[in-house]
Chains A and B, each alone.
Chain A
Amino acid sequence: MHPNLSFEQAPPISVPYRFFLTAPWFGVTAGLLLAWLGPDALESRWSPGALALSHLLTVGFMLQVMCGALLQFIPVATGGNVWRPRWVASLVHPIVAIAALCLAFGFALSQPLLIQIAVPLFAAGLGGFIAVVSFSLLRTPAHGMTIHVLRLALFGLAVTLILGIALASALGWQADGQASWSLVLISNVHAAWGLGAWALMLVIGVSYLVVPMFQLTPSYPAWLTRTVPFGILVAIGLWSLQLGVDGELVQSWLSVVALGGMLLAGLYAGTTLWLQALRRRRLTDITFVFWRGAMLALLGFVASWIALEVFPVLGEHPRAAIWLGMLALPGVFVSVISGMLYKIVPFLNWLHLQRLGGLKVLPPNIKQMLAEKPMRRQMRLHFASLVLLLGAVLWPPLTSLAGLSFAVSFLWLEWNLVGAVRRYIDFRSRALSDQVIDQTHADASSRVS
């Protein structure tokens, strides 16, 4: 049997929370940077501002939450033992956060030194994280497609990291700092692995469990749970061959391969929306709306990509990639992650509080940990910001307003999460002091008797 399976290795609450509470600040920074830089930042994906913004959202906001969530999720959902989670978190969290800031500001300020600092930090912090998490995912006795898809996602993250290190090393140590043609190719492949094989893969793997779980929808069809992730990985793998193989034949196949991957992503988004429409739980909560928004953004991304391929006049416009980036990053990933944070944080609060033992007062229920109204309002601002950001791609004078709105939306997310954590701390310290009083009282009584 499995002697290591203890079933209950949920890490201390501080392990995920340090990541969750740091993450929104990267979004705030991204929004403020966009507001400050104005329309220039969105001129092309190669502008220093655009590179900084995309990395503040990906290796800043997204990576923070994803690392924290995996450390929580793997032991609970897969029974996998994560090696010394407290240690891993206290090393990975600051290293990856500092690395993300260095990288983003290295881009924004065109400072190769900052990029040079980011490279070894990412290699050590993220490399170490991948090693620890992969080890626990390989040893888990659990069954189900989620485990396989999480393994694929970790592989995707490893490839993204290696390509990212190669790119950052070239930029950081290259005298003229100009991106050569091969760097453009490597960047495209790096982005495909990062967004498709890591971030989307992780969302897919997690969704197989959480979409049916929170809304009581039917399960994803078994064939789809296999076809979509493996198909996307094969498409990205084949598409990456452009790095090594040249020639017209390859070029003509690239679009076909990319289209295949995109259609699979669209199929996944469409299926998720369809399952949500069949949900047995009619209650519409915040997480559900965030997921639905994210899946619509993913469909919008796929449709836009196809339109840009069909009409090369549009596709060759420097802002075309920015449009896709807005749909993918704020549209798909920030939406899903915000929705998940609003579900996970109140539940972890409750779970940890009611395990304190000897409580005289029941811990607040999930809705008392984080009220619906502020979450709903923040969600509206998030989607309004998304519309503004997309609008700013088409009409640049909107850029600063969109940036400010985006920053405020993240600040509000942080405020809501901090409020929930404060409620946790308040209740915990009250409950513990009650126990101490009880104990003292009992000791005093026993002395008297």
Chain B
Amino acid sequence: MSHISEILPAHHKHCDELFAAAEEAAQSGDWVACGEQSGRFVHDMLAHFDAEESLLFPAFESATGMSGGPTQIMRMEHGQMRELLVQLESALRAKDEETFAGVAETLLIMMQQHNMKEENILYPMCDQALGAQVERLAGELNTRLEQA
């Protein structure tokens, strides 16, 4: 694994798995399991955002000089998802199944359309723009996400 477009999409899938497990637990009213799964999900999502914002985006911005374009939008969407994660945790604490389901549905579409943009457009652009740095950076991202 040596490209951004291999490492990060795999982590998206990993977060999807955690999301599906948390949502399923909430739907069956198992709030203990939902708490565990949601905890892992929120933690790994935040780690993913942090890794991108502190390692990948700055590298992309300095390699291309594009600081107001794609990465700015991705940061904004991270902010929107962070807000939804907060709402998800509050629905979890209140054991409010209906709100949890509504926020989860909103978060899922938000996440998926965000991932689609990253996987189809941004990551391939990163691989192209970062040149020789790609392998090192992909390794760092991988380590960061594994340790999180």
Question: Once bound together, how far apart are the Cα atoms of A143 and B123, in whole Å?
Answer: 10
Nearest 7 A-B pairs (CB), nearest first? A365-B102, A367-B102, A213-B112, A7-B70, A7-B73, A366-B106, A280-B20
Answer yes or no: B99 CB below 8 A from chain A CBs. yes
Complex interface residues of chain B between 7 and 41 (CB less than 8 A to chain A):
16-17, 19-20, 23-24, 27
Is the pair A142, B120 in contact by a Cβ cutoff of 8 Å? yes
Binds B, one of A73-81, A88-96, A331-339: A73-81
Question: Once bound together, how far apart are the Cα atoms of A143 and B124, in whole Å?
Answer: 8
Count of residues in A whose CB is under 8 Å from the partner chain: 35
Is the pair A5, B20 in contact by a Cβ cutoff of 8 Å? no
Is the pair B73, A367 in contact by a Cβ cutoff of 8 Å? no
Q: Residue-by-residue, is B99-128 near A (CB-CB < 8 Å gives 1, otherwise 0)?
A: 101110110111011001100111011000
Contacts from B to A (Cβ < 8 Å): 16-17, 19-20, 23-24, 27, 64, 66, 69-70, 73-74, 80, 83, 87, 98-99, 101-103, 105-106, 108-110, 112-113, 116-117, 120-122, 124-125, 129
Chain B residue numbers with a CB within 8 Å of A347 are 106, 109
CB-contact partner of B117 in A79, A214, A285, A364, under 8 A: A79
Question: Once bound together, how far apart are the Cα atoms of A5 and B105, in whole Å?
Answer: 28
Number of A-B residue pairs at CB separation under 8 A? 89
Is the pair B24, A366 in contact by a Cβ cutoff of 8 Å? no
Main secondary structure of the interface of B (DSSP, over half): helix
- Closest residue on chain B to residue A282 by CB atoms: B24
Answer yes or no: A135 CB below 8 A from chain B CBs. no
Contacts from A to B (Cβ < 8 Å): 1-2, 5-8, 76-79, 141-144, 146, 209, 213-214, 216, 280-283, 285, 343, 347, 350-351, 354, 362, 364-368
Is the pair B80, A142 in contact by a Cβ cutoff of 8 Å? no
Is the pair B120, A350 in contact by a Cβ cutoff of 8 Å? no
Q: Known contacts A365-B103, A367-B105, A368-B102: does B121 contact A7 (CB below 8 Å)?
A: yes
- Closest residue on chain A to residue B122 by CB atoms: A7
Chain B residue numbers with a CB within 8 Å of A142 are 120-121
